[in-house]
Structure 1
């Protein structure tokens, strides 16, 4: 067995581990609102989200290509060393996911992965970082998508309130609980488009660097199946700490608010996945949508202190994951030489 093959297997193994942590870390993105409004039981919501993630993965090819071939170009003639860079980058993202999960902070697994890859590549001095692509498809969407989610959440909720202003509240709540089953599923499909695709991109990158495929952006069928299945399993395992934060601590959600937030967030995810092929954060998108919906009640309805902690975690994610990736590279790079 060649050293390159061992290196590729190691990267695939750690990518799958990241995929699983991504599932239970980001389960809250799809189901927190539905669980908190009692539209779905926790296990039913998790099962629905797992199926949606599995389905969504098959529509995330464009995002996978961006992650696998657009962010960092591997150097020529140093395949084994660069596999060590990718390995360390993914390990850094996993460490950040576990830390934020422990504290119940819904940070972005996507930006943890990007921060880890870029940090390890810069620290090792291997590979070319495409800052133009990172700026256009990572940093700009990182800022714009939460703003869009916030504004659209506010507008959609206002429109809903006006449309149903003369209806019976009890019947409305029952109706919106039913509608939330559909909006939660739509959210989970969008999550699969984004987050399973990122793992697919990492595995495709490893296969290319190791010399097992000629196209850096090609996604083999077994990579689709593996990434989607592992993300679904991780989602079903659940991330209850983050679910409590997102579903109960930011605002007090009702069925109408939950439906509006999920509808807005899933729409933003679909547009970025299918049209722009931009790997955005599902966490940022749903959290900002919840804030926008909550602000229609009154500004004080949003617990801005909790929201501030979440925003702080967002800001620290990229450099935090990069730091842990650098530490991981220091420890593991002798194994890839």
Structure 2
């Protein structure tokens, strides 16, 4: 087998491993609130999330095209494939570290940071203008918007349901959470599976097996299935952090957090083709519904630890990727 073709196969396989780790790392994004409020059992929740991830992954390609052509432009051949491979390894390594610690960091930031780190280390062209306006700005704005909308929506819901019997209202919101959890899982598939699709296209273009940024059907299907399988396996450590440690959630707050986060993901993916972080968005929304009750309802120490992980994610994944490239480069033609 030709070396370039072999490397393409390796990079595609590693990209799907990243997609799988993204799935089990980010299961909590879609179902932590529903599980913690007992709207869904854990197994029913991850099954629902896996199915909706699969569906969401097939609904668009805008984010995939941004990742596939907007972050870096690696050179053709084995050298370029080594750059992409190093970026993926950096992202996977950081995902595993934060999963082990139970911190809901961003797989999206890890992937973009990994590609940037490998690109800088290899003197590959990095598209800083795209990273600034299409990646960085939406990634910073999405959690802020999620927090503010969730806090405002929570205040509105509490006012609207102020005279309703608590048990009846709770029961109805618990049923509604099945819909909001489905919407959140659909948004996760729409965002995160596309990021892997973009990396695979980046690899097959570098390998001379594809032209342009269009996403072949086999790429869509493989990324969708890998993400769904990872989601089904489930990331229980992070689920506990999001579902219990940041705020005490009940069904109304869980419904509002999921609904707001899903809306932000849809607007980012379909309106702007922006690869935002599902983890940041849902965590910010959960914090927002807690703040809607009062600032004392949020465990700010836990929230601070999560923010630290967010800040470290892109540079840490980038450093790991840069180190990976320096290890790989001597054996690349």
TM-score by length of 2: 0.99
Q: How far is 1:8 from its partner?
A: 0.5
Count of aligned residue pairs for this structure pair? 333
- How many angstroms does 1:330 deviate by? 2.0
Deviation per CA, 1:106-140, whole angstroms, max 9, x where unpaired? 000000000000100101112x1110100011111
| C-alpha RMSD over aligned residues | 0.8
Q: Partner of 1:296: helix, strand, or coil? A: helix
Corresponding position of 2:19: 19
- Give the whole-Å Cα distance in 2 for the aligned partners of 1:105 and 1:9: 31
User: What is the alpha-carbon distance in structure 1 between the residues aligned to residue 298 and residue 95 of structure 2?
Assistant: 25
Distance 1:301 1:173 in 2: 19
SS in 2 for 1:327: helix
Tell whether the 8 Å contact from 1:59 to 1:274 is kept in structure 2 after alignment: no
Mapping of 1:179-328 within 5 angstroms?
A: 179-215=176-212, 217-328=213-324
Provide the residue aligned with 1:103 in structure 2.
Answer: 101
Are the counterparts in 2 of residues 80 and 210 from structure 1 also a CA contact under 8 Å? yes
Matches within 5 A, 1:38-77: 38-75=38-75
1:121-179 CA-to-partner distances (Å, cap 9, x unmatched) read 101112x1110100011111121111100100001111111111111100111100100
**Aligned-partner SS, 1:171:** helix
Aligned 8 A contact 1:83 1:336 in 2 = no
- Alpha-carbon distance in 1 for matches of 2:265, 2:292: 22
Aligned counterparts of 1:296 and 1:5: Cα–Cα separation in 2: 54
SS in 1 for 2:58: helix
After superposition, residues 109-188 of structure 1 pair within 5 angstroms as 109-126=107-124, 128-188=125-185
Q: In structure 2, what is the Cα distance between the partners aligned to 1:69 and 1:330?
A: 23
Question: Once the 2 structures are TM-superposed, how far is the Cα of residue 292 of structure 1 from its aligned partner?
Answer: 0.6
CA distance in structure 2 between the partners assigned to 1:222 and 1:33 by the alignment: 33
Distance in 2 (CA, whole Å) between partners of 1:281 and 1:186 is 16
Q: Is there any run of 5+ residues in structure 2 with no aligned partner, and where?
A: none
Distance 1:247 1:335 in 2: 45
Displacement of 1:218 in angstroms is 1.4
Please say if residues 64 and 196 of structure 2, whose CA atoms lie closer than 8 Å, have aligned partners that are also in contact.
yes
Contact 2:81–2:207 under 8 Å retained in 1: yes
Aligned counterparts of 1:218 and 1:208: Cα–Cα separation in 2: 10
| Structure-1 separation of matches of 2:220 and 2:49 | 17
- The residue aligned with 1:81 is 79
Which residue is 1:7 aligned to?
7
- Structure 1 unmatched ranges of 5 or more: none
TM-score between both structures, scaled by the size of structure 1: 0.98
